[in-house]
């Protein structure tokens, strides 16, 4: 009798164990993936799979192996990306009017070939050529209160010139809350740009700019401003001693 009882008990126990193991396997056959909540105070919320706005991945998506060449962000990289500031918005600068781009034009102003003539009312610089022609460039000229006219010679030429603002300019700009350096080495940040042609013994120059969108306007403190590519072209065409007529 005891043998029969233990046999039945053993069979029932084995059956129960089998059912329990089967139920356990069935229960975790489609286990939800472990997901880290952005709210570290309640990391279990996303594991429920029922949090508002949360879409659980399918098992196939979770178990799909990464390809050998596929990059996967590491936790440190993910945290770094999360705290990075948004990319800066690019500010679109106005394009230069095509009329101010270099071009060959007819010229009958009476100046001899090789002379530079600057029309500060139309914002053009002319390099007089032979046969009634001139090479014309767009320029930026003196803003109201800084206009001037006269005739000078080019006394010096500089490649990527440094800049030492005059004391009067430093004082004037400081009164507006803008503080200029006493010295700035040549380079892309320098407002004199790629080349400079010095006019007589004055503080005026024909020079490049790091603000090419200002060409065609009355924008300077008296200097003649050109696009960098244009002042480089002019620089190669004229020499020290060239006459410059500012009208």
- How many CB atoms neighbour CB 194 within 10 A? 24
Q: How far apart are CA 81 and CA 78, in angstroms?
A: 5
DSSP state of 46: G
Residue 212, judged by CB atoms within 10 A of its CB (0-12, 13-18, 19+), counts as: buried
- Catalytic positions: 207, 223
**Dihedral (CA of 179, 185, 190, 196) sign:** positive
Alpha carbon separation from 13 to 2, 6, 20, 27 (Å, rounded): 16, 10, 10, 21
CA 225 to chain centre: 23
Task: Name residue 198's beta-bridge partners.
Answer: 156, 205
Instruction: Give the contacts of 199 (CB within 8 A, at least 6 positions apart).
Output: 152, 153, 154, 155, 205, 206, 244
Structure tokens at 20: 């329990």
């Amino acid at each position: 009798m005891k043998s029969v009882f233990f046999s039945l008990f053993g069979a029932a126990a084995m059956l129960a164990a089998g059912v329990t193991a089967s139920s356990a396997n069935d229960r975790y056959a489609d286990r939800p993936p472990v997901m880290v909540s952005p709210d570290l105070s309640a990391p279990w919320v996303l594991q429920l799979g029922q949090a508002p706005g949360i879409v659980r991945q399918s098992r196939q998506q979770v178990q799909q192996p990464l390809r050998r060449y596929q990059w996967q962000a590491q936790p440190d990289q993910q945290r770094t990306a999360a705290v990075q500031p948004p990319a800066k918005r690019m500010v679109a600068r106005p394009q230069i009017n095509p009329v101010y781009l270099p071009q060959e034009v007819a010229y009958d102003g009476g100046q001899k070939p090789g002379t530079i003539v600057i029309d500060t009312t139309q914002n053009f610089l002319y390099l007089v050529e032979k046969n009634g022609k001139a090479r014309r460039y767009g320029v930026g000229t003196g803003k109201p209160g800084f206009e001037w006219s006269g005739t000078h010679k080019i006394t010096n030429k500089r490649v990527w010139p440094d800049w030492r603002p005059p004391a009067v300019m430093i004082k004037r700009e400081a009164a507006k809350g803008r503080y200029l350096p006493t010295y700035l080495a040549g380079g892309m940040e320098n407002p004199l740009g790629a080349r400079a042609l010095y006019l007589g013994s004055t503080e005026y120059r024909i020079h490049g700019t790091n603000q090419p969108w200002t060409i065609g306007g009355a924008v300077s403190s008296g200097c003649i401003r050109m696009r960098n590519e244009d002042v480089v072209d002019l620089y190669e065409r004229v020499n020290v001693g060239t006459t410059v007529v500012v009208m």
